[in-house]
A and B are shown apart, each in its own frame.
Chain A
Amino acid sequence: MRKFENKLGNQHRNQIEGSGTFASAILLKHDDPSTIKMRTSTKKYLLLRLLKYVLLDILKNRMVLFYTLFLLATSFGLFSMSGDPTKGIASLLNIVLLVSPLLSLIFSTIYFYNSYEFIELLSAQPIQRKTILYSQYWGLCISLIVALVIGLGIPLLLFAPGKAALSLLIVSCGLTMAFVSLALLAALLTRDKARGIGLSLLLWFYFTFIYDALMLMIMFAYIDYPMETLTLTMISLNPIDLARVIVLLQLDVSALMGYTGAMLQDLFSSGKGVLLASGVMLIWILAPLRLAIKLFNKRDL
């Protein structure tokens, strides 16, 4: 009990010492103007404070730990099986492109539904809804990216350091951020947890299998025509394909990809291509997140 009170005392002191700007007219007026000490909330710090609690909560969840261990085991296994680091990266790429979107989607959706109480509690506090959602988003992104850096980054650094390894790591981080954003969108589209998870699974299925099948069909149908622009557009419309192409082009296997491959190689070896790819990835991260915030602002809790 004494400890508790001490803490309270400290907080009080901090509060008095900490300087802040006076709140704007939005705040209600006290009878005596000299007692108005309310401060405008510095949003960034508020986000960081919330983030701390979200991260602590995610750390308690063993899922991220398992994910890290899985990545470590897979990478070490693949690199020690194949002596050629390029082959190792190529096989790792396929696994990461399959697993990391899936895990980001499912884990984030479940986590969001499970922190409903936390979100409800915070929504009744003087916090913007946007800040609450951002704290969830960044908490999920940071923990999953840390898992990637440890589980993927360390083996890559040990076995195949280089441009290709770096691009694989960056691309998988980008994918994680995009799919966490999509997961929050899916979770906000429906109130029912089972449906939300179903929707995320569907999204994963679409981006991993259905989209590629559609793309192959279209390419096959127009096989007699020049395809560069169409291919590039279609690749951009699927973050997983985009990620795959970026990494493959670092591996110098584009010769296997025909004329379009050569065109892509040409594009992505220049700064313009990298800028374009990053731009498209950024849209994939921001657009679903913005939409999720819009939905969350209108959500009845």
Chain B
Amino acid sequence: MIAFKNISKSFGKTKILDQLNLELLKGQSIALIGPNGSGKTTLIKCLLGLVVPTSGKIQIEGVNTIGSWLHRSNIGYMPQIGRYPDNITVMQLFEMIKEVRKDTYTKLDEELLHSFDIFKFENKTMRSLSGGMRQKVSACLAFMFDPEILILDEPTAGLDPISSEILKEKLKKELTKGKLVLITSHILSDLEELTDKIIYLNEGKIVFFKKVEELKSETGSINLSKAIARIMELQNNLS
């Protein structure tokens, strides 16, 4: 469904993504992991068109996305740090985004608005919201337009345990509908629950792209965090 072809991105002299090739299929639930600064967020932003790659192609269903905009109507994106206009209220924000996307969505999915009880603070301005509340708003926006592709950048980082569970349940539900889900997180236990494939990114290159089960059996570990820890150790020893 999504194909990255020879994607490179440098900011000035630092190379963030280096000749990266990747193909993601429909119905997959993929975890994107790697150390800080390995290019996870940049990769996601390239897909969205927020960052323009230095070279390479990104295709969704064979259609080039770079410089295009319509593909974004099929992506739900939850940013790592959701930044919103200060003076707008939560309700105004939702109304605005709905109005802006009016032509490109078919179905509204407002389940999360109810399960997060957004209506409780719908008249607060975005400025006055706490980090966790903002995360909830970001999550609602990502799921709201029933997209085929869901991209969540550190979704559970600022959420309390209950909200985190709500989000995970929602994600699982969407996964059963055959959507493509891409999650970055440092909380590996969350990822183990939600994803079936792992992409390990380091210094802008893909170290491996494997099934969770495969990883576990290769390293002889019982859970994902141990398996990843083992791999990271091996990597350090090599370099």
Contact = CB atoms under 8 A, between A and B. Distances in A.
B71 interface: yes
A220 interface: no
Contacts of A15: 102, 105
Interface string A1-45: 100100110011011000010010111111100011111111001
Interface stretch (B59-67, B182-190, B209-217, B223-231): B59-67
Interface stretch (B28-36, B78-86, B163-171, B194-202): B78-86
A1 B83 contact: no
The 3 closest A-B CB pairs, nearest first, are: A126-B73, A126-B72, A41-B103
Given A4-B122, A26-B68, A28-B148, 16 more contacts: A1-B119, A12-B108, A15-B102, A15-B105, A28-B1, A41-B70, A45-B103, A53-B96, A57-B85, A116-B83, A118-B85, A121-B84, A124-B77, A125-B97, A126-B70, A300-B50
Interface of A: 1, 4, 7-8, 11-12, 14-15, 20, 23, 25-31, 35-42, 45-46, 49-50, 53, 57, 60, 115-118, 120-129, 297-301
A115 B122 CA distance: 22
B150 interface: no
Interface residues of B, number: 46
B85 A115 contact: yes
Contact of B104 (A29, A39, A120): A39
A126 B63 CA distance: 15
Contact of B101 (A4, A20, A126): A126
Interface of B: 1, 11, 45, 48-52, 60-61, 63, 67-74, 77, 79, 83-87, 91, 95-106, 108, 110, 119, 122, 148-149, 178
Contacts of B85: 57, 115, 117-118, 121
Given A8-B108, A117-B85, A123 B50 contact: yes
Given A25-B63, A124-B79, A126-B101, A7 B69 contact: no
A178 B50 CA distance: 28
Contacts of B61: 28-29
A46 B100 contact: yes
Given A4-B91, A4-B119, A25-B63, A125 B101 contact: yes
Contacts of A127: 69, 72, 100
Given A4-B91, A117-B84, A125-B101, A28 B50 contact: no
B83 A121 contact: yes
